[in-house]
Amino acid sequence: MKDQNQLLWERVRPLLKKAKRKDFILHTKKLVRAMNELLESEKGDPKILIPAAYLHDVGWSMVDDKLQTSTNKDDRSLALHQHIDFAPDITRPLLSDLGFDKKSIQKIIKIIISHKFVKPKEHDSQMLIDADTLSDTYLDSFESDCKSYHSSPVEFLQFRSRNSFYTKTAQDIFKKHIRVLEVNPKIILRR
């Protein structure tokens, strides 16, 4: 029998396939992995945080493809805002259909809409932001993002090296990921 997260992933995956900006399926898998790693040391409710991790980028499925892939700064900004704006209308019925109660749905939506453009004080929202930032430092996700953003591994590594985190756990995980990236032959050869 499938658990609630497996059923959620089955519903989220087709939505993430619609997004064009990057490989959101890979990104989301890595974000869920990062969230699970954070939850090993940080306080948080996995029944809220794991669904938030799966759902955090579903709004991209409704953002116009041209906005997602535009090189124009204003278009990119609009696309980022829209992916947050669209998320509640996608998330609410999806979670309701899977039997989540209204209070949990509201918590999950609150976390999702606070993962961009705000500096949240709530630990759950901070954890989603940390997991989101960590997700792009796993080697396969890092390589995928280099292609999506037309960036060299060295440039992207320099960009990622400036990441900041809310939790010490995320900082520690990040340091390990950066060390792996820094010694990776694909990156070293391009320096």
Structural domain boundaries in the chain: 4-188
List pLDDT tens digits, range 174-183: 999 988 888 8
Share the mean pLDDT of the chain: 92
On whether the pTM is more than 0.95, the answer is no
* Stretch 124-146: mean pLDDT: 93
Tokens of 14: 């087709």
Q: How far apart are CA 14 and CA 20, in angstroms?
A: 12
The pLDDT, as a whole number, for residue 182 is: 80
Sequential DSSP letters for 16-59? HHH--SS-HHHHHHHHHHHHHHHHTTS---HHHHHHHHHHTTGG
Burial of 116 (0-12, 13-18, 19+ CB in 10 A): middle
Query: Given a cut of 50, is residue 189 above it in pLDDT?
Result: no
Instruction: Judge: domain 4-188, CATH 1.10.3210.10.
Output: yes
What's the pLDDT tens digit per position in 71-127?
899 999 999 999 999 999 999 999 999 999 999 999 999 999 999 888 999 999 999
pLDDT of residue 176: 92
More confident residue, 50 or 152: 50
The CA distance from 122 to 135, in Å, is 20
The residues near 161 (Cβ < 8 Å, ≥ 6 apart) are 178
Q: Where are the alpha helices (DSSP H) in 114-167?
A: 123-135, 139-148, 153-160
